[in-house]
Structure 1
C-alpha cells in the first residue's frame, strides 16, 4: 500500500491574510509552534512565509511590514491524495522542507520533511542510505 500525503500531513495549517503584519505572523508562529505559515486570501493560497523570512532589520517596526512583502510566492504544492514519495521528491528538487497541501485549489494542510522521514535531520527517509530514494 502506498503511503499518501494525507496520511502524514498536518491538517488545518496556520494561515494569515497577505496584509497581516510580520508581528502578527511571529505571534501566530509562537502560538501554533510552527515555523511556516500559509499566506491566503479567502481559499486561495498565495504563498508561504517561514520563520527565516520574517527577520526585520534593526529600526524597522514589524507592525508596519506586511507578510506579502516577504512571503515566497508561487509555492510548490502537493495534493492530499499524492503519494508521499512525490512530496519527498518535490522537497528535494526545490530544496524546501515543507509543502502546502491543496485540494481543489484550497489549502488543507502542510507536510514537512520530518513527516516523511520520521524526523530524521539528514533529510533521508528512515532506513534509507545516502543516494537512495525513499520507499514511502
Structure 2
C-alpha cells in the first residue's frame, strides 16, 4: 500500500516571521516542546530553524539573542515535500540532504512538517528511535 506524506506529517506547523528574536523563538520551542519551527514571510516558507541552529548560528557567535533575529540563524535553502508526495520520496530527500525534518508545502504555503521521528513511528514503532520519538521530554 502506498503511503503519502499527508498520512504521517504533523500538520499546523509553528511558524515565526524572520524578524522574530532568537530569544522569542527559543521560548516558543521550549514552551511547545519543539525542535524546529518554520520561518515564513507572510504565508510563504522562507526557512527552517532548529534548536541546534539557534545555538550554533547565533548564541555561539556571541550576538545578543534579544536583538538577533531568527533570519540569520535559519536554514534558508530548505528541501520541501508536498502532502501528496509518496512517503518514500520524503525519505529519499532526507537521506540525500542529510536532514531530520522536511517542511510540507502546498502551493508554496507550509501546511506541515515530516520528521525522522514521524518516519520511525510509522515504519517501526517498536524501534529504539520510535521509542525515543514518543518519550516524554526530560523536565
TM-score by length of 1: 0.84
Matches for 1:53-64 after TM superposition, within 5 Å: 53-55=53-55, 56-57=59-60, 60-64=63-67
Q: How many residues align?
A: 123
More helix by share: 2
Deviations 1:65-90 (A, max 9, x none): 00001110120000001011110110
How far the C-alpha of 1:117 sits from its partner, in A, is 2.0
Distance 1:121 1:106 in 2: 33
Partner of 1:127: none
Partner of 1:128: none
Partner of 2:118: 115
Partner of 1:68: 71
Deviations 1:12-70 (A, max 9, x none): 11110000000011011112211011000111100000000111138532101000011
Where does the alignment leave 5 or more consecutive residues of structure 1 unmatched?
Answer: 124-136
Partner of 2:37: 37
The 3-state SS of whatever aligns with 1:26 is helix
Evaluate the alpha carbon distance shift between residue 59 and residue 113 of structure 1 in structure 2; reply closer, same or farther with a 3 A threshold: closer
Matches for 1:1-136 after TM superposition, within 5 Å: 1-55=1-55, 56-57=59-60, 60-118=63-121, 120=127
How far the C-alpha of 1:122 sits from its partner, in A, is 6.4
CA contact (8 A) 2:117 2:129 kept: no
Distance 1:60 1:4 in 2: 41
What is the aligned-residue RMSD (CA, Å)?
1.7
Where does the alignment leave 5 or more consecutive residues of structure 2 unmatched?
Answer: 131-139
Distance 2:5 2:113 in 1: 9
